[in-house]
Amino acid sequence: MATIEEALEIEQIERDIFRGASTKTQLPRTFGGQVAGQALVSAVRTVDPRYQVHSLHGYFLRPGNPVEPTVYLVDRIRDGRSFCTRRVTGVQNGEAIFTMSASFHIGDEGPEHQDEMPVVPAPLDLPDAKTSMSPERLWAMREWEHWDIRTIPQEEVARRDGLAAQQQVWFRYRHELPDDPLFHVCTLAYMSDMTLLGSSKVIHPDEPTQNASLDHAMWFLRSFRADDWLLYDQQSPSAGFGRALTAGRIWNQRGELVAVVVQEGLIRNLREPGESFPPGTA
C-alpha cells in the first residue's frame, strides 16, 4: 500500500489551489487521516516557513472517493506577526468533502508545564501486529502496513478512576522519514485518525456499529518524530444518540506531551437487513 510520502503528496495547480494524489487502497472510501493530512500540507505550502502549525480543526462532510484525487482550496484568512490562519476545503466532483481551519505560530517564551505520561508497557515488550494478528485482521490492516501499531492489552492499560472507556496504543512509522518537522506534523495528522474512535468501542466489543469520523481537532505542543515510538493515550468520555466523543494525548518515549486530539465520531447501531442507510450518507 501507499507510503506516507505518497499519501501526503500534493500538486500545486494555482496559487492557493492544490490537488492531492489518490493512492492504492483497499478502503471503500478515502481514509479520513489522508484527507486531513493532505489538507494540512496544502495549508503549510501557503505559509512562511517561520511559522509552525499549532492547531487544526476539521469536519468530515462527505465520504471521499478513494480512486479520485481531492482538490484543496486554501483561503488565507490572516497573516499576523505571531499567528497565521488558513481555511482549507477539500473538494471532489464539485462538492466539499472536508473543511479545516489551521493556525500557525512563531514560538514565544512563556511558562511551561505538562501532565505526567502514564506508566505503560514499553512498545518493544508488546508483540508486533505482523506476528500477532489473525490472518483476517492482518489483511484488513494492510492499508497501514508501513506503520508499527501495538495496542496495549486492556488488562495492562494504565487506568484512571472515573473514566468510562480507555485505550492505549504505541505506534511509529516503520521507515526513516525526512527531517523536516512540518512533515512529521502532517504525518501525525494522518495517523491521529487511526484507532482513536476505537476507544469508544472497548466497552461495547460485541455491538455491531457503523463508524465514521465526524470532526477532528489537534493541538501540536512540542516537537517529535513520527518514526520514533509515540504513545496514544485514548479515552471516550461519552457515547450516545449514535455519536461518540473521543480524546487522545500523544507522548514520546521521553515522557513529553507532544500533541492532543479530540474527535467525535459516528457510532450508531447497524440496521436490520433491508433497512440499510442510503449509500454515501451519514
Active centre residues (catalytic):
193, 213, 263
3-class SS letters over the chain: CCCHHHHCCEEEEECCEEEECCCCCCCCCCCHHHHHHHHHHHHHCCCCCCCEEEEEEEEECCCCCCCCCEEEEEEEEEECCCEEEEEEEEEECCEEEEEEEEEEECCCCCCCCCCCCCCCCCHHHCCCHHHHCCHHHHHHHHHHCCEEEEECCHHHCCCCCCCCCEEEEEEEECCCCCCCHHHHHHHHHHHCCCCCHHHHCCCCCCCCEEEEEEEEEEEECCCCCCCCCEEEEEEEEEEECCEEEEEEEEEECCCCEEEEEEEEEEEEECCCCCCCCCCCCC
> How many angstroms separate the CA atoms of 80 and 273, rounded?
54
Residue 157, C-beta contacts closer than 8 angstroms, at least 6 positions apart? 120, 166, 167, 168
**Are 218 and 55 within 8 A, CB to CB?**
yes
Q: Which amino acid is at 233?
A: D
Give the total residue count for the chain: 282
